[in-house]
Amino acid sequence: MALKIPTPHINAKAGDFAKTVLMPGDPLRAKYIAETYLTDYRQVNSVRGILGYTGFYKGKPVSVMASGMGMPSISIYAHELFEGYGVENIIRVGTAGALNKDLKIGDIVVGMGASTNSAIPKEYGLSGVAPIADYTLLNTLCSEAAAQNKKVTVGNLFSSDLFYGSDPDFANKWGRAGVLAVEMEAAALYLKAALLNKRALAVCTISDSLVTGETTSAEQRQTAFNDMMILALETAKKLN
Ligand code: HPA
């Protein structure tokens, strides 16, 4: 592996992570996912409170670790997992704010692509790049959704550096261009995976709407995403 372990931000041993890592933003959500869905799980990271666990989903080894908030943070963890721990697939399981009037709280969006205002593409000399999901992961999750009769909306996300932005016309402008929802990590995750020849996908539950102003509490956000988790876990189960 290209990176020496333990890495600066992950205090785990070789083999502590499964090939597929589910990645919520919130460390407590990582803990919740391990406790709720995995069997025989053990904690493999706690550096800076970024909780990580590895266990089994229906017999398949799966890890879950938080990304923290924002593209600099997810870039660090994705890099160290891919390059230090031999992880092949990262599925972000997060929340996003709707930019599309037809998306309701609790709806699931899947990022086929992720537009961004981040400087990260430029730092790689890739201004104008279109960060996109890995097609195998995207297709596997969408097939699973169809099999379960669960509605998912697939399209463009906007990965923002700012939660509290300053443009009052933001939702209208990006919504008009067909961008479904805003979150803060997918574009950097997609770019990191592409650059390292790995695979990534971002799935988000709508937690608020920038169109209607609706919001959910932090508590609702932690638990209101069970459907999304099952989709992500069933996808992880099918991946090699
Ligand atoms: N903006 C950015 N990220 C988010 C939002 C939002 O409104 N909702 C959930 N993640």
Residue-by-residue pLDDT tens, the chain, 240 positions:
699 999 999 999 999 999 999 999 999 999 999 999 999 999 999 999 999 999 999 999 999 999 999 999 999 999 999 999 999 999 999 999 999 999 999 999 999 999 999 999 999 999 999 999 999 999 999 999 999 999 999 999 999 999 999 999 999 999 999 999 999 999 999 999 999 999 999 999 999 999 999 998 776 665 557 899 999 999 999 997
Map out the domains of the chain with their CATH numbers: 20-238 (3.40.50.1580)
* pLDDT attached to residue 223: 53
Q: Nearest-CA neighbor of 227 among 134, 160, 153, 131? A: 153
Tokens found for residue 83: 């390059």
pLDDT recorded at residue 225: 79
CA-CA distances (angstroms) from residue 228 to 92, 94, 107, 150, 200? 11, 9, 9, 9, 16
Strands (E), the chain: 20-23, 39-45, 52-57, 60-65, 89-98, 108-116, 153-159, 179-183, 199-209
- Atom 5 in ligand 1: residue holding the nearest Cα: 97
Torsion of CA 55, 57, 62, 63, to 10 degrees: -60
For residue 143, what pLDDT is reported? 98
Neighbours of 162 (CB within 10 A): 12
Mutate to test the pocket of ligand 1, among 182, 205, 214 (most ligand atoms within 8 A of CB): 182
| Active site residue ranges | 208
182 CA distance to ligand 1 middle (Å): 5
- Ligand 1 pocket: which of 26, 93, 160 to mutate (most atoms within 8 A of CB): 160
Residue nearest to atom 10 of ligand 1 (CA): 96
Map 213-230 to HEC letters: CCCCCHHHHHHCCHHHHH
CB-based pocket (< 6 A), ligand 1: 95-97, 160, 163, 182-184, 207-208, 210
- What's residue 222's pLDDT? 57
CA–centroid distance, 17 to ligand 1, in Å, is 28
